[in-house]
Chains A and B, each alone.
Chain A
Amino acid sequence: MNPMQDTHGTPDPSPDQGGTHEAHALGNTLRWAFELDESPAIAGATFLTREIIPGARDPFDAITTGAATVRQLEDLKNAYKMLRTTGATAPERSLAARLYAATIAAAIVRHGAMITRQTPFALARAFEELAGDPDMPERIRDLGSLAADALGRMK
């Protein structure tokens, strides 16, 4: 028997090692696995945001600063869309729904681009809800209002 034999395709550092690089990689993997454990609902969305825009502070910043490209906003939209159903908790799923609408709003307001096939009616309702949600930061609510206005002009 060779207990060190890897048969599952999992990277397996040499058993004769144990040096700095390996310890660093192992520590990072452990930290990565557990970093969400005690975080609030925004942790999942922040993780997704940073996967798509490395270095982003949080989802609200990524969406509202205007630095995100249309493509990045589209990627964020798709990620939040999935989080609406796969989120671990109701608050996380709820936040994902708001962020999903916010990415569409940002694409319209910042880039004049439409990144969804949602109907104008559904969009208008989503932007109004975004603008009126007291749990959202002010800049996200403002974005909702601006998008609702822009959508009205596009009709």
Chain B
Amino acid sequence: MTQTNWELIRDAASGSATARASLDAVMKRAWPAVYAYIRASGRRSEEATELTQAFICDVLLARRLLEKADQARGRFRTLLLGAVRNYLADVHRRQTAQSRAPRTGLVAIDGTEHGAGALVGEASVGHESTSPERAFNARYVAGLIRSASERLQRELEADGDAASWEIFRLRVLQGAFQGTAPSYEEIAPRLGLDRGQCAARLLVTKRRFASILMDELRATMVDPAELKSEVADLLALLTEGR
């Protein structure tokens, strides 16, 4: 069973024997989405890295934000998104107070008020069509998919079924993210299987992947009854580009 994010955060901030491992796990889960939000808000790469690190240490862990939050209502994704949005707004206020001329040439802070189209200068390179929320959600889902994929790979290989992982990797992940899924014609002989067996293995693997993905999602929520609506929301967010 995957540890929930709240369990990890509590442990990471506790100074226990497993705190370091929990901190690493928190970093792995939260970092990419937070970083993507900050980058898409117009920060340069180095500054975004520093701010992400600071956010995780100062807000996520030191202030124990999620512990204080009403966990009964909490989805890790929405809490994290709200927290990083507020954090950046605070940073912006502090910087504006210190100097009327932002040293990074930054324009946009909050994607809801200042879309990515408003970004200027070097900081906006590569982000012309990406709102901070969209970048955050995409990275968040990417993290879930990656985490589930890694676990799937570990489990399949431990079962001595590396072939199923290979079929999944080539047909699904490579197909989705690189746009080129090799045919069963190419895959089957390499694995010593026939084409029908490859397809059947993919079906079994698909179901296992879905189950692991659900487990990963469950770890981000307090109320399991909200799982389905979280999946629907994520699909809508990715489809609609919000």
Q: Give the interface of A toward B (CB within 8 A).
A: 1, 3-4, 6, 8-13, 15-20, 22-34, 36-37, 44, 47-48, 51-52, 74-83, 86, 88
- The answer to whether A16 and B196 touch across the interface, beta carbons within 8 angstroms, is no
- The answer to whether B196 and A74 touch across the interface, beta carbons within 8 angstroms, is yes
Alpha-carbon gap, A29 to B202, bound state (A):
14
- Assuming the contacts A16-B39, A48-B203, A51-B199, asked whether A8 and B150 have C-beta atoms less than 8 A apart, the reply is yes
Chain A nearest CB, measured from B41 CB (Å): 11
Tier of interface size on chain B: 35 or more
B22 CB-CB contact with A under 8 Å: no
Task: Count contacts between A and B, CB distance < 8 Å.
Answer: 159
Nearest neighbor of A92 in chain B, beta-carbon distance = B203
- The answer to whether A17 and B238 touch across the interface, beta carbons within 8 angstroms, is no
- The answer to whether B200 and A79 touch across the interface, beta carbons within 8 angstroms, is yes
In the complex, which of the residues A10, A23, A27, A52 contacts B146, with contact meaning CB atoms closer than 8 Å? A10
Alpha-carbon gap, A20 to B31, bound state (A):
21
In the complex, which of the residues A9, A13, A36, A48 contacts B199, with contact meaning CB atoms closer than 8 Å? A48
B129 CB-CB contact with A under 8 Å: yes
- The answer to whether B150 and A52 touch across the interface, beta carbons within 8 angstroms, is no
- The answer to whether A32 and B135 touch across the interface, beta carbons within 8 angstroms, is no
Interface string of B113-155 (1 = CB under 8 A from A): 0000000000000110110001111110110011001100100
- The answer to whether B174 and A86 touch across the interface, beta carbons within 8 angstroms, is no
- The answer to whether A88 and B196 touch across the interface, beta carbons within 8 angstroms, is no
Chain A nearest CB, measured from B90 CB (Å): 23
Chain A nearest CB, measured from B138 CB (Å): 4
- Assuming the contacts A16-B36, A16-B39, A75-B194, asked whether A52 and B199 have C-beta atoms less than 8 A apart, the reply is yes
Q: Which residues of A contact B235 (CB under 8 A)?
A: 27, 30-31
Chain B nearest CB, measured from A129 CB (Å): 22
Alpha-carbon gap, A83 to B142, bound state (A):
30
- The answer to whether B194 and A33 touch across the interface, beta carbons within 8 angstroms, is no
- The answer to whether B145 and A16 touch across the interface, beta carbons within 8 angstroms, is no
Q: Which residues of B contact A86 (CB under 8 A)?
A: 200, 203-204
CB neighbors of A among B188-216 (8 A): 194-197, 199-204, 206-207, 209-210, 213
- Assuming the contacts A31-B235, A78-B196, asked whether A44 and B172 have C-beta atoms less than 8 A apart, the reply is no
CB neighbors of A among B148-197 (8 A): 149-150, 153, 169, 172-174, 176-178, 184, 194-197
B67 CB-CB contact with A under 8 Å: no
6 pairs of A and B residues whose beta carbons are closest in the complex: A78-B196, A18-B135, A82-B200, A79-B196, A27-B238, A11-B177
Alpha-carbon gap, A75 to B196, bound state (A):
4
- The answer to whether A9 and B169 touch across the interface, beta carbons within 8 angstroms, is yes
Alpha-carbon gap, A20 to B161, bound state (A):
34
- The answer to whether B184 and A52 touch across the interface, beta carbons within 8 angstroms, is yes
- The answer to whether B129 and A30 touch across the interface, beta carbons within 8 angstroms, is no
- Assuming the contacts A30-B235, A33-B209, A86-B204, asked whether A13 and B196 have C-beta atoms less than 8 A apart, the reply is no
Alpha-carbon gap, A78 to B188, bound state (A):
12
- The answer to whether B172 and A29 touch across the interface, beta carbons within 8 angstroms, is yes
In the complex, which of the residues A3, A28, A52, A83 contacts B31, with contact meaning CB atoms closer than 8 Å? A3
B27 CB-CB contact with A under 8 Å: yes
Nearest neighbor of A8 in chain B, beta-carbon distance = B150
Q: Which residues of B contact A33 (CB under 8 A)?
A: 206, 209-210, 213
B32 CB-CB contact with A under 8 Å: yes
Q: Which residues of A contact B238 (CB under 8 A)?
A: 23-24, 26-27, 30
